[in-house]
Amino acid sequence: MMVLARLKPSLLAVALGFGLSGCGAINTVPTLQERAKSAWSEVQNQYQRRADLIPNLVETVKGFAKQEQEVLTQVTEARSRASQVKVDASTITDPQKFKEYQEAQNQLSGALGRLLVTVERYPELKSNANFLALQSQLEGTENRIAVARRDYIETVRAYNTEVRTIPGRWIAAILYPDAKPMETFTATAGSERPPQVRF
């Protein structure tokens, strides 16, 4: 009887230890899911920042380069398409919606790149204070987008690993059946080829 009395506290301590460690494992899936959603929000935030800069950039260029109307129209239309793509928390688990969002942002990046190449033909524009400030803000935003995407990719990697490996897979299946793997960014088609430089 005395041996049994000594075992009970030991068994209780072991059971408590397993219970507490299980709570940590149980909370891993939603914790990683929330981190990934937060990182996704930051990606959207930075893309919105870029979209907000574009009208001012287009207006500044328009004043100097009236004959470049086609490029300005492409930028404006690409911004409009990127803004029309509806995104929410479900986008990161829906491959089709995620691809649509990424393609719209890639088209906008391409149009902006063409606009900035066009600007090279206008030295007076390149020295305009408003344009230089906008260009600097746009470059900073592109860097922020790259960092936000990198952070998002890392948080999604951790989350996807958790819901695809054991014991996270079991925990997700039992306690979080709506926990699906999330989508991540891929390189733009053709980005593996270096750009052609012509002099």
Instruction: Going residue by residue through the chain, which has 199 residues, state the pLDDT in tens, using 9 for 90 and above.
Output: 454 455 565 554 444 445 545 556 789 999 999 999 999 999 999 999 999 999 999 998 888 887 788 889 999 999 999 999 988 888 999 999 999 999 999 999 999 999 988 888 888 888 889 899 999 999 999 999 999 999 999 999 999 999 999 999 999 999 999 999 999 998 776 655 554 434 3
Domain 31-175 is found in CATH 1.20.1440.20: yes
Distance spanning both ends of the chain, measured CA to CA:
94
CA distances from 132 to 43, 60, 62, 119, 142 (A): 25, 10, 15, 11, 15
Task: Report yes or no: 177 and 171 within 8 Å, Cβ to Cβ.
Answer: no
Rounding to the nearest 10 degrees, give the CA dihedral for residues 102, 107, 148, 152: 10
Distance (Å, whole) CA 115 – CA 38: 32
Q: Is residue 131 classed exposed, middle or buried when 0-12, 13-18 and 19+ CB atoms within 10 A define those classes?
A: buried
Burial class (CB in 10 A: 0-12, 13-18, 19+), 97: middle
CA dist., res. 24 & res. 19, Å (int): 9
Q: What is the pLDDT of residue 105?
A: 95
Q: Where are the domains of the chain?
A: 31-175
Distance CA 53, CA 109 (A): 13
